[in-house]
Amino acid sequence: MVENFELGDIVEMKKEHPCGEKNFEIIRVGADVKIKCTKCGRIIMIPRSKFQKGAKKLIGKV
Ligand SMILES: [Zn+2]
């Protein structure tokens, strides 16, 4: 679980994207969080609480 995060952070998610990548870039923060797969570039929007549970750890910044 990741409590604090901000725009531009790279996070490792517990569940990998269908393309096989686990690292995502945070591109919008609000009630929903938008993350972009760092491999295929697909964008996913998920509720903040779900994102926090699904995130494993912060990897770094863009
Ligand atoms: Zn992907």
The per-residue pLDDT for 10 is 98
Percent of the chain with pLDDT over 70: 100
Q: How many whole angstroms from 33 Cα to the centroid of ligand 1?
A: 16
Whether 20 shows a pLDDT value over 90: the answer reads yes
Residue 22 has pLDDT above 90, yes or no: yes
The β-bridge relationship of strands 55-61 and 43-47 is unpaired
Average pLDDT, the chain: 96
**Ligand 1 center–CA 31 separation, angstroms:** 23
If you search the block for the tokens 């964008």, which residue do you land on? 43
pLDDT (mean) for 35-60 = 97
Backbone phi and psi for residue 31, each to the nearest 5 degrees, phi listed first: -65, -35
Q: Is the pLDDT assigned to residue 62 strictly greater than 90?
A: no
Dihedral, 35, 41, 42, 44 alpha carbons, nearest 10:
0
At 5, which amino acid appears? F
Residue 23: which of 31, 35, 34, 33 has the closest Cα? 35
Distance from the alpha carbon of residue 37 to the mean position of ligand 1, in angstroms: 5
